[in-house]
Structure 1
Amino acid sequence: MEKRDKRKHPFTLRVSILFLLIFFLFTILIFRLGVVQILNGDSFQAEIDRTTQDTTKMPVPRGRIYDRYHRVIVDNQPLYAITYMPAKGVQAQERLEVAEKLSTFISMYHGKNKQAQLDTLTLRDKKEYWYLKHIDEAKKRLMEKEVASMDPSEQYSTILKRINKEEVNDITEEQLNIILIKKELDKAMTLTPHIVKNEGVTPSEFAKVSEHLHELPGINATTDWKRAYPYGDTIKKLLGSITSHKEGILKDKKDFYLTRGYSPNDRVGKSGLEEQYEAVLRGRKEQMKYTINKRGEIVDSNIVVEGQQGKDLVLTIDIALQEKVDQIVRDELKAIIKKYPYENRHMEDALAVVLNPKTGELLAVSGQHYDRKQNAFRNTAYKALYDQHIPGSAVKGATVLAGYQSAVIAPGDTFYDKPLKIKGTPEKSSYTDSSLGLLNDQDALKRSSNVYMFYIALRMGGEYHYQYNQPVTFQKEAFQEMRNYFSQFGLGVQTGVDYPYEGTGYKGPNPVAGNLLDFAIGQYDTYTTMQLAQYVSTIANDGLRVRPHFLKEIRLPNPSEKQLGSLFKSVNTDVLNRVEMSQSQIKRVQEGFRRVYQEPGGTAYREFGDKSYNPAGKTGTAENEINGNYTENLTLIGYAPFDHPEVAFAIVVPHTGKGEHVNNKIGERIMDAYFELKEERREPKDKEQTE
C-alpha cells in the first residue's frame, strides 16, 4: 500500500502545478479585461464611435442685373438639378454602381444635344467602363513579372492600353448613358455637391430620382439656376457670360479663385460685366458642417453660415434707349448695304456709344455686325471698346485746342484753305480740291477744313514759312507734343471704363512731317468709339474728362423678387483730369461744333439744322484701305443741348464704299430717340401734376 501511494505522488503534483498555472493565467486575463473595461473602456468606446467633422461651402445664385430704371436685364432662371456629393473613400466601382442605378431614371442626352454629349466620350472613357465591368479578365492581361515591376497606376494604364478598340465598339446606347453619368460622378469632390445634370432635367426625371434617393447614395434632387436675359441679345455681349459647371473656375486664374474660397466647379464670370463684377455678383456661400463616422457615412449636418445671394447691379444703361439704338444702327447699316451692295462689300460693322457727358454714365453702347452669308445681324457691342479705327475729321476739335495751347495759333487766326504740298510728297487738300477760302478757327471746324489743321501741325513742327512744293522744317518732338494734348481728352489712352479690357488705339511709328499733317486730321493714329465718346464729352463738359462707367449702384439682395434691396454703394462721377486749355478756348471749339450742326455749310447741317434740342458736334471721314480696295471710315461725334449738355455720343461706321452720310443718319435718329424717350418719361408726371 505504501509503495503504491508513492508512485502516484509525482503525477498528482504535476496536475496540481498545471491547475495552478491555468488559474494564474485566468487571473491575469480577468485582470486585463478589468483594466480594459474599467480604466480604458470610455476611450475604446470613443474610438469605436469616433466621427470627424467637415465643413463644405454650397453655391448660391448670382446677383441680378438691372438697368438705370430698375428693369431686370439679367435674371436667374430656376432649374431642376441632379447633384452628387460623395462620402469619403468612395471607389470607382461604387460610383459605377450609382451611375448604373441613376441611368434608369435620367438620360444625359436629349433632343439636339444627344450627339454633342456622345462626342464628349473618348475611347479611354469606354475602356475604363469595360475595365470596371471585367476586372478579373482585365487583370489577366498582365504577367506576374509585370505586376511585380509596376506600381498600381502603371498596371492600370497598361491594362487600358491592352483593351482592344473592338472590345468597346459594341457598347450600347444605355451603357453610353451610364458612362456619361459616371464621368460627372468622377468629377465630384468629397462633401462638395457636383451638378450631374441641370439643363433639360424633366419633371418626370426629377420625380423618379426624388422617389429613389435611398437607393442612390450621394445623389440629391434639388434646384439650380441659369442666367436669363429678358431682353434677348440686347447688350448681352457687353453683359458677358459665366462658365458652366463643367468648365468651373477659369484655368488661367485657378490659383486666384481657389485662394478666395471658390471650388473648382464653381461658375464664375468669364467676360464682360459678369467678369468685371464677379466679386459683387457671386454672393456668400452657405457653409454646411457634416459629421461623418469611420465608415464615411454622414450622420449629422447643420448650417454654420447662412448663404446669401449675390448683390445686385444697377447699371447706367437705359435698356429702352439701348433697344432703339441697336435697331437704328441695324436699319441704317442694312439700308446702305442693300442700296449699294457692291460698293459696300467690305462694310460689316457700325458702332455707337451714348453717354451723359457730365457724369460719364453710359446710356447705350451698340455694335452691330452684318453677316452677309446668313443675311443676319450679330450683336457685337464689345467692339465699341475693343475695335480701333482711323477717325478722320472728328478729332479736329482736339487739333484746334492743341494749336491754342502750344501757342502756334490764337483764337480767331485765319488761314487760306487751298491745296498744300510738301516737296517729295503728294498734294494734300480739304475734301474738295478747290479752295474753301479764308477761314478762321471756328469756320474751319464748321467746314471741316483739312488745310487749317495742316498749318497747325506745320507750326507745331517748327515751320512758320511754308511754301508750296518746298521742303519744310520739322521737329519730331511735335508728334509727341500733339499726342500729349490729345491724351488729355482720352484719345490714345485708357478711358478708365469699368470693363475687363479696352483698346487704346494704334500709334503710327513714323514721326515725319507728312504723317503729323495726317495725324492732325485724324488720318494716322486709331481710336475706339469709347475714346471718341470720352473726347467729345470732355469738350461738352468744359474741359473736364470724366470716367465712363456702366455701374450706377450696388444693391443688397432682397428676398422679394418684386423690388430691389437697400442701397449698398453708389458710383459717383470720377473726374480724371481737366484739360490745360482755357475756358475761353474751349468755348470757341464748342461754338465751332455748334456751327457744324446748326449753320448752313456745316457738314451735319442737313440732318441737324432744324432740331429743337440744340445739338453740336463734328463729322469725320477717313480714307482707308482693305484688301487693296479704297474705303472710308465715317464717324460722328456730338452732344445736346449745346448750352446744358445732358447727352453725348460717338459713331463709327468703318469700311464704307458709298456711305451717303450713314453716320449722320444714325446720329440724328439716336438723338431723336433720346429726346423722345425723355419726353415720354416726363408726360406721366405732368399728367399726375395736372390731375
Structure 2
Amino acid sequence: MGKTKTGKNHIPFRLNVLFFAVFVLFSLLILRLGYIQIVQGDEFESDLKESTSETARIDAPRGLMYDRNGELLVDNELALSLTYTNKQSVTTEERLDIARRLSELVTIETDEDSDLDDEINRRTKQDFWIATHPEAAEDLITQEDRDEVEEDELYELQLNRISDEQLSDVDDELEVVYIWGEMMSGYYDSPQRIKKNISRDEAHSISERLDNLPGVDILRDANRQYIYDDEFPDYFGSINSIPRENLDEYIAKGYARSDEVGTSFLEEEYEDELRGKKGKISSNEANNGQEETNGSRGNDLILSIDMALQQEVDAIINEEIGGDTGSFINDANAYVVMMEPDTGEILAADGYTDQLGVTSRSYEMGSTVKAATVMLGLETGAVDEYTVINDRPLDLPSTPEISSVSNLGPVNYRSALAESSNIYMSYVAMNMAGYQPGITQGWNSTQYIQAYNTFRYYYEQFGLGTTTGVDLPSESTGIDGGIGRPGSLLYLSFGQFDTYTPIQLAQYASTIANDGYRLKPHFVKEIREPNPDKSELGSVLKQFEPDVMNKVDIDSNYIDMVQEGLWSAVNTQSGTAYGYFQGTDYEAAGKTGTAQVSVRLENSDNTVDGNNQAFIGYAPYDDPEVTVAVIVPNVYKRSDGGTSGIANTIARRSLDAYFDMKEEREELEPLGESADGVE
C-alpha cells in the first residue's frame, strides 16, 4: 500500500513540486516589495507627508463672574502673548540663537520687590551654562566617573560641580537666560508662553521677523479684569502659573505645563468650571497650511454677592473706621458679613484693611456667644426658664473677679441676654461643672473637663470653632483654647477664651435666625453657560440649593426663648443695643459683644488692654431675611470703662442699607468700563 509495482515511494517527487511552488510565491512577494520600495517609495512618502500634521492647543478665555443681579464683575480683556513651540529636531545652538534674538525684541519685567536675577532659579542658570559652555561642561565629568557612575546620574554630578564663579559667567545675559529657560520648560510641539502682555511695539517687531524665528509666534490671550477690585478685591482670587507642587495633578487633568490656573479663592475653587475649552491649531508639513479651531469660554459664575450692597457696606466701614484710627491699638480694622439665613447666600463680605480676614482671622467675640450659652444651659438642665441669678461680682479661687458691665441684680435667661449678664453665663458653666459657690467649694475635675467638651459640642453645631463649609479653598477654624483652668470655663461661656472668625459668627447668627438649622455659606449661587452677549446670562447649568449642614441638638422651645432674648436686647430700653436701633422701618433682633483683650503694640514688647467689639443680628424679627455679623478688633478701652459702640453702629447702618435697597437701588459705579472682551 502506498507503493508502485516496483516498490518505490512517490513522496520525494511531491515535495519537490511543493518546494518549487513556495519558491515561486516568495519570488513574486520579493519582486512586489521591491517594486513598492523602489518605484512607488517616493509617492508613498509624499502621501505620508501630506497626511502628517501637528496639533497645538491654544488657551480659551475663562468664564466670567456676575453678581446676584446680573452685574458683570469679572471680565476678560484682550492680550497678546509671545510663545515658543519647541521641537526635537531643533539644535541647542539654534535655540540659543532664538533666545538671544528675542531678548533684543522684548523687555522682561519683574516684580517691584525683585530683580531678574531673583526670577531665575539656579537650575535654569546651570542648564544655560552647560548649553553655552559645552567643552567646559564636558570636562567636569572624568573617565572614572563614566566608568563608575550610572548614566542617569552623570548629569546631576555635572550640575553639582559647576562652581559659583563659573555660574557668574551667565550674569551678563540674564534676559537671554530667562527667555531660554521659558523656551525649554514647555512640552515638545506645544506653545509655551515666553511673555504675556507684550506691547504693540514688541508685537510689531516680532511679527516682522517671524520667518527667521522658527517656533516663535504671537497668540491672542486674555487677562482677567476685576471691575470692582476696590470693593471686592480678594475673594475673586488670582490667576497664575500652575504651582510646582500641583503640577502632576493638573497634567493628569489634561493641562499643559504652561497653562495658567486659578491659584486662590473663587478662581481656584471653581477652576473646573471657569476653565475654557481650548482651541486647536493644526499645521500641515507638506503645504505649510494651518487650520485653527476656536475654543470656547469657560462657564460663568453668578455670585450671591449683591455688589451694590457690598459697595455700601464698604463705604460704611470706611466712614466709621477711616476717621477714627486713633481708637485702635494698632492698625484699624473691622469686618462685616451679611447673609441670607435660609439659603446661606453671602450678600456682602468686607474688611477695612484685610478683606480675607473674614474667613482667615479669628478673635474673641465676647458676649455674642451668650445666645448659644443660654440655649445649651437650658438643654442640659444647668438652668431653666424659671432660673433667676443675682448678677453681682463673682470672686472664685484662682480666678480673676468676674462681673458684668454693672451689677444687674436678679436676671433670668431673657434679661441676661438683653442686658448681657456675665454672671448668668458663669452660673451656667459652674452648674454644668458641678461647682456651687457657698455649697460646693471645689471643682470636680471630671465634671469641669466634661463641661468644656459640652460647651464646644454645642458651639460647633452653630458653626463656632469649626469649618463653616464656605466655598473657598481654605478657611480658619479659629483657636481652641483647650482645657484650661476650671475658672477659664466661665470665660468660655461669655466669649473670652476661644476665638472665632467673622464668617463663623455670621453662620452662628444665621443658625439662630433660621430656628436652629445651620446652612453652608456660599459665594456662588449659579453656574451658567457662557453667552457671547455678555449683557445676557446663559442657560443655568447648576443652581446651588440651600445646604443644611445640621439641625442643632436643642429643643425648639429653647431656641424660641433665646430669640425673644435677642429681640429684647434690641427693642427694650434695658437692652444693650436699644439706643442703636430706634426709628428703623424694620424690627431686628441681635446681641452686642465686648471681649477684653491684651494687645501687643507693633514694634514693641509692651501690651495694652483693649477690647474687641462685636454684634450679631437679623431682621425682620418675625421672618428673618438677612443676618449681619460685625467684629471691630483691638479697640482702646475708654477711661470710663464703656465702649464706643462702633460695631453696633456699623451693623445698624448695614441693615439700613439692605432694606433701603429693597425700596430703591442706586446705579453701580465700577472702576471703569469693561475692556474689549475676549471670546
Considering the TM-score relative to the shorter chain, is it more than 0.5? Answer: yes
Which of 585, 588, 595 is 1:615 aligned to?
Answer: 588
Letter in 2 for 1:574: D
Specify which of 204, 211, 214 is matched with residue 214 of structure 1: 211
Identity %: 37
Deviation at 1:466, TM superposition (A): 3.0
Tell me what 2:632 maps to.
Answer: 653
3-state SS of the aligned residue for 2:563? helix
Deviations 1:213-236 (A, max 9, x none): 222211112211111111123222
Q: Deviations over 1:551-591 (max 9, x none)?
A: 11001112223322111111111112222333332222112
- Measured in 2, the distance between the counterparts of 1:521 and 1:278 equals 41
Tell me the distance in 1 between the aligned counterparts of 2:499 and 2:142. 71
Q: Is the 1:546–1:577 Cα contact (8 Å) retained in structure 2?
A: yes
Distance 2:295 2:417 in 1: 59
| Cα gap change, 1:39 to 1:619, in 2 (>3 Å) | closer
The one-character-per-residue Cα deviations of 1:155-198 (angstroms, maximum 9, x if unpaired) are: 975996598578667x4xxx554444323222232111111222
CA distance in 2, matches of 1:421, 1:205: 76
Task: Give the direction of change, closer, same or farther, for the CA distance of 1:222–1:467 in structure 2 (3 Å limit).
Answer: same
Distance change in 2, residues 1:440/1:292 (3 Å):
same
Alignment partner for residue 310 of structure 1, among 295, 298, 306? 298
Conserved 8 A contact 1:81-1:195:
yes
Deviation, 1:508, is 2.1
Distance 1:511 1:179, change over 3 A: closer
How far off is 1:44 after superposition? 7.3
Residue 404 of structure 1, CA deviation: 1.4
Distance change in 2, residues 1:156/1:427 (3 Å): closer
Task: Check 1:427–1:108 CA distance in 2 against 1; reply closer, same or farther (3 A cut).
Answer: closer
Q: Distance in 1 between matches of 2:156 and 2:422?
A: 75
Query: Which residue does 1:545 correspond to in 2?
Result: 518
Structure showing greater relative contact order (alpha-carbon pairs closer than 8 Å, 6 or more residues apart)? 2
Note the alpha carbon deviations across 1:601-659, whole angstroms, 9 max, x for none: 21111211222211110001111112332221111101111111111011111221135
Q: 2 CA distance for matches of 1:352 and 1:586? A: 25
Secondary structure, counterpart of 2:116 in structure 1: helix
Conservation of the 8 A alpha-carbon contact between 1:361 and 1:550: yes
Alignment partner, residue 456 of structure 1: 428
What CA distance in whole angstroms lies between the structure 1 residues aligned with 2:521 and 2:166? Answer: 61
Give the 3 Å change call, closer, same or farther, for CA 421–85 of structure 1 in structure 2: same
User: Does the 8 Å contact 1:421/1:469 carry over to 2?
Assistant: no
Describe the superposition over 1:53-102 as per-residue Cα deviations: whole angstroms up to 9, x where unpaired: 65543321111111111112221121122211123332221112222343
Deviates more, 1:54-63 or 1:401-410: 54-63
Aligned to 1:635: 614
The secondary structure found in structure 2 opposite 1:255 is helix
CA contact (8 A) 1:423 1:470 kept: no
**8 A contact 2:78–2:221 mirrored in 1:** yes
Q: Which residue of 2 aligns with 1:467?
A: 438
Partner of 1:83: 83
Q: Structure 1 residue 510: deviation in Å? A: 2.4
Superposed displacement of residue 115, structure 1: 7.7
Corresponding residue to 1:413 among 371, 387, 408: 387
Pairing 1:364–2:348 present:
yes
**Structure-1 residue corresponding to 2:63:** 63
Bigger shift: residues 656-665 or 549-558: 656-665
SS class of match (2:597) = strand
Q: 1:122 to 1:599 in 2, by over 3 A?
A: closer
Matches within 5 A, 1:117-266: 117=116, 119-121=118-120, 153=155, 161=163, 164=166, 171=172, 176-199=174-197, 201-243=198-240, 248-266=241-259
Change (3 A) 1:164 1:453: closer
The whole-number CA distance in structure 1 between the counterparts of 2:67 and 2:267 is 14
Rounded Cα–Cα distance in structure 2 between residues aligned with 1:143 and 1:597:
81
491 and 621 in structure 1: CA distance in 2 versus 1, 3 angstrom threshold: same
- Matching of residues 488-503 of structure 1 within 5 Å: 488-503=461-476
Contact 2:304 2:346 in 1 (8 A): yes
Report the equivalent of 1:26.
Answer: none
Pairing of 1:284-299 with structure 2 (within 5 A): 284-287=277-280
Deviation at 1:384, TM superposition (A): 1.2
Alpha-carbon distance, 1:488 to partner: 1.9
Equivalent residue for 1:534, pick from 507, 516, 538 = 507
- CA gap of 1:259–1:115, structure 2 versus 1, over 3 A, is closer
Deviates more, 1:152-161 or 1:600-609: 152-161
8 Å CA contact retained: 1:421, 1:468: no
Please tell me whether residue 391 in structure 1 is matched to residue 365 in structure 2. Answer: yes
Structure 2 gap segments, 5+ residues each: 1-28, 601-606, 638-642, 668-679
One-letter amino acid matched to 1:307: G
How far the C-alpha of 1:292 sits from its partner, in A, is 5.6
Which letter does structure 1 place at the counterpart of 2:558? Q
Q: Distance in 1 between matches of 2:261 and 2:229?
A: 21
Whether contact under 8 Å (1:417, 1:437) holds in the other structure is yes
Gaps of 5+ in 1: 1-30, 370-379, 684-691
Amino acid at match of 2:377: G
Structure 1 distance, partners of 2:439, 2:99, is 85
2:496 matches 1:523? yes
Q: 1:405 to 1:94 in 2, by over 3 A?
A: same
Deviation of 1:408 (Å): 2.6
1:262-281 → structure 2 map (5 Å cutoff): 262-281=255-274
Q: What letter is aligned with 1:276?
A: E
Q: What is the deviation of 1:306?
A: 5.6
Which residue of structure 2 lines up, in the alignment, with residue 591 of structure 1? 564
- Offset at 1:682? 10
Letter aligned with residue 91 of structure 1? T
The answer to whether the Cα contact below 8 Å between 1:347 and 1:657 also exists between their aligned partners in 2 is no
Q: Structure 1 CA distance, aligned partners of 2:269 and 2:224?
A: 16
Residue in 1 that maps onto 2:333: 349
Amino acid at match of 1:661: G
Q: Give TM-score scaled by structure 1 length.
A: 0.82
TM-superposed CA distance for 1:455, in Å, is 1.6
Q: How does 1:328-339 map to 2 (within 5 A)?
A: 328-338=316-326
Secondary structure of the equivalent of 1:238? coil
1:430 maps to amino acid: S
Instruction: State the AA in 2 paired with 1:273.
Output: L
8 Å Cα contact 1:422-1:469 kept in structure 2: no
Q: Which amino acid aligns with 2:265?
A: G
Which of 310, 314, 321 aligns to 1:326? It is 314
Shift of 1:35: 6.4
In 2, are the aligned partners of 1:124 and 1:160 still within 8 Å (CA)? no
Cα root mean square deviation, aligned: 3.3
**2:276, 2:331 → 1: CA distance?**
43
Deviation at 1:600, TM superposition (A): 1.2
Cα drift, residue 211 of structure 1: 3.0
The equivalent position to 2:659 in structure 1, one of 643, 665, 675, is 675
Query: What is the one-letter code of the residue matched to 1:359?
Result: T
The residue aligned with 1:562 is 535
CA deviation vs aligned residue, 1:393-432 (integer Å, no higher than 9, x gap): 1011111111111123222432221122223433221122
Q: Does the 8 Å CA contact 1:553/1:570 hold for their aligned counterparts? A: yes
- Alpha-carbon distance in structure 2 between the residues aligned to 1:271 and 1:346: 28
CA contact (8 A) 1:541 1:645 kept: yes
> Residues 347 and 654 of structure 1 are in contact (CA less than 8 Å); yes or no, is this contact kept in structure 2?
no
Corresponding position: 1:578 with 2:551 = yes
CA distance in 1, matches of 2:68, 2:345: 10
**1:105 has 2:105 as partner:** yes
Distance (Å, rounded) in 1 between the aligned partners of 2:634 and 2:157:
62
Please give the secondary structure, in 1, of the residue aligned with 2:321.
Answer: helix
Distance (whole Å) between structure 1 residues aligned to residue 157 and residue 203 of structure 2: 40
Sort the Cα spacing of 1:593 and 1:46 in 2 relative to 1 into closer, same or farther, 3 A: same
Number of aligned positions between the proteins: 620
CA distance in 2, matches of 1:364, 1:486: 24
Please report how far the alpha carbon of residue 359 of structure 1 lies from its aligned counterpart in structure 2 after TM superposition: 0.9
CA contact (8 A) 1:68 1:316 kept: yes
